[in-house]
């Protein structure tokens, strides 16, 4: 195959192979294999402490693994040529408080060989209203928007987004989702860590689920759902929540203010029969495969945040 800057075209853009990382007595990564493929949005999910952020840090060369290897565009993560193809938005960021968002974008763009123009970056990130404001004057959500602008200004081939929409309102989140979709459509690859399950469900081409420093499952969103046997039952009923929760087939149940009961179960047929027997007036009955949220909980054996 042809070569591109030391990387074989079609190869993974970034890869972890057998990576182990320990912090004192805590095992953060336990022999993890992970790869990012060209043109995909990869969502990395896992409960707190699963190793998501550590995996990204090792892939970027911000942490040195105790064992195993990390590669970025077929090179060392510390290689300048590789790093110039990467955009990064981590959870904890320190930026010069006195500079405006516009100045920060201009300063960051200077590190890249072919960045977006200032106007293109501002439009893509949706930061028109805050571009002239000093960073110190921004709210927490606005700071996340500014950080996203810095992550995309260099026209990255590979973009790392670590919990990017934390603190954003619904409109700002929708703007960022649209920008991420545009980048992927333009050929970029994106690695997204998030605790918003609906974010992965809406954006990801492929999902990797981590727990205790290991990969426990991977595949498309539909494949993740298919890995678990649970189904979701919704109905409007006069049945009490406690009664439904007491049935042995019920994994979880919630009752909304308008009387809609939602049940997660691995034995939908048995639960439906009990519902109909317990409440002849039951209506709006719907049975469907459980979503990514339920799959995540079952795969990691952790409650969803």
Say whether pLDDT at 62 is over 60.
yes
SS3 content of the chain, % helix, strand, coil (to 5): 35, 30, 35
pLDDT (average), residues 246-263: 87
Say whether pLDDT at 192 is over 90.
yes
Angle (deg, nearest 10), helices 170-185 and 140-152: 10
- pLDDT score of 167: 87
pLDDT (average), residues 276-286: 94
- Where is pLDDT greater, at 142 or 300? 142
Query: What rounded mean pLDDT belongs to the chain?
Result: 88
Q: Write out pLDDT tens, residues 82-127.
A: 999 999 999 888 899 999 999 999 999 999 999 999 999 999 999 9
Angle at 77 between CA 76 and CA 83, to 5 degrees: 115
d(CA 56, CA 299): 21
pLDDT (average), residues 54-74: 95
**Quick check: helix, strand or coil at residue 201?**
helix
- pLDDT score of 1: 34
Q: Find tokens 């039951």 and name the residue.
A: 282
Burial call 263-279: b when 16+ CB within 10 Å, e when fewer: bbbebbeebbebbeeeb
- pLDDT score of 50: 86
- pLDDT score of 6: 41
Hey, what's the torsion of the CAs at 296, 93, 82, 210, to 10 degrees? -10
The fraction of the chain above a pLDDT of 70, given in percent, is 90
CB-CB contact of 158 with 8 (8 Å): no
With a CB cutoff of 8 Å and minimum separation 6, the contacts of 24 are none
Closest CA to 285 of 271, 304, 299, 302: 271
pLDDT (average), residues 125-144: 96
- pLDDT score of 252: 81
pLDDT (average), residues 23-45: 94
- pLDDT score of 7: 41
Highest mean pLDDT (candidates 6-15, 42-51, 272-281): 272-281
Which domains occur in the chain, in start order?
3-85+157-225 (3.40.50.300), 229-289 (3.30.70.920)
Cα distances from 203 to residues 74, 165, 182, 259, 276, in angstroms, run 26, 13, 11, 31, 37
Say whether pLDDT at 194 is over 90.
no
């Amino acid at each position: 195959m042809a070569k591109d800057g030391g990387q074989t075209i079609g190869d993974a853009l970034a890869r972890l192979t057998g990576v182990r990382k320990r912090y004192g007595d805590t095992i953060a990564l336990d022999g993890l294999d992970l790869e990012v493929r060209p043109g995909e949005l990869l969502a990395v999910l896992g409960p707190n402490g699963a190793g998501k952020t550590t995996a990204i840090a090792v892939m970027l060369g911000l942490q040195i693994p105790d064992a195993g290897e990390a590669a970025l565009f077929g090179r060392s993560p510390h290689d300048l040529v590789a790093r110039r193809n990467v955009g990064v938005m981590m959870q904890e960021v320190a930026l010069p408080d006195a500079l405006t968002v516009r100045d920060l974008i201009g300063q960051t763009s200077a590190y890249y060989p072919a960045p977006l123009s200032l106007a293109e970056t501002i439009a893509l990130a949706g930061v028109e209203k805050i571009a002239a404001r000093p960073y110190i004057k921004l709210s927490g959500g606005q700071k996340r928007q500014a950080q996203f602008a810095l992550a995309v200004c260099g026209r990255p081939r590979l973009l790392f987004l670590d919990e990017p929409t934390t603190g954003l309102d619904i409109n700002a989140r929708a703007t960022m989702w649209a920008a991420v979709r545009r980048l992927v459509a333009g050929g970029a690859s994106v690695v997204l860590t998030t605790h918003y399950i609906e974010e992965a469900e809406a954006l990801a081409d492929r999902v990797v689920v981590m727990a205790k420093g290991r990969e426990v499952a991977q595949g498309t969103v539909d494949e993740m759902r298919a890995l678990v046997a649970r189904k979701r039952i919704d109905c409007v009923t006069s049945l009490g929540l406690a009664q439904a929760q007491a049935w042995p087939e019920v994994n979880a149940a919630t009752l909304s203010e308008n009387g809609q009961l939602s049940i997660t179960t691995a034995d939908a047929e048995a639960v439906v029969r009990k519902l109909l027997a317990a409440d002849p007036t039951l209506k709006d009955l719907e049975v469907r495969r459980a979503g990514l949220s339920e799959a995540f909980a079952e795969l990691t054996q952790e409650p969803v945040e």
